[in-house]
Amino acid sequence: MQKTDRPHEEATIEMFQNDPALATEYLNDVLATGDEVDLMLALRYLSNAFGGIPEIARQTDANPSTTFHAVSENRTPSLRTLRAVLSAMGLRLAVQPIN
């Protein structure tokens, strides 16, 4: 069997599409251990896995350009933006005690 090379982002997005629980686990891990740059990367991957920025924007009643900039690498999303994007993906923020 011949392997084909493809970009990491493409493979990651496909994994999230095939296993939404993995997407949730990934985002929880990033929220627990990552920084803002890691969070933005995770949100971009998840946005693409859940229909892309235009679909996320449509579901959040936002402009696609605004949504794209809200999850760009050099931004820190507001809590409102984060909640809206997660909601469009069928996810929500939750708080848990540290074990």
Most confident segment among 25-29, 35-39, 58-62, 79-83: 25-29
What ranges do the domains of the chain cover?
A: 9-88
- pLDDT band at 60; cut points 50, 70, 90: confident
What is the C-alpha radius of gyration for the chain, rounded to an integer number of angstroms?
Answer: 14
Question: Looking at per-residue confidence, does 16 or 71 come out higher?
Answer: 16
- Please enumerate in sequence order all residues whose Cβ is within 8 A of that of 95, keeping only pairs 6 or more positions apart, or say none: none
The CA-atom distances, in angstroms, between 48 and each of 52, 63, 85 are 4, 16, 11
Return d(Cα 73, Cα 52) in angstroms, integer: 16
Q: Of all residues in the chain, what percent carry a pLDDT higher than 90?
A: 2
Residue type, 46: L
Task: Give the model's pLDDT for residue 78.
Answer: 78
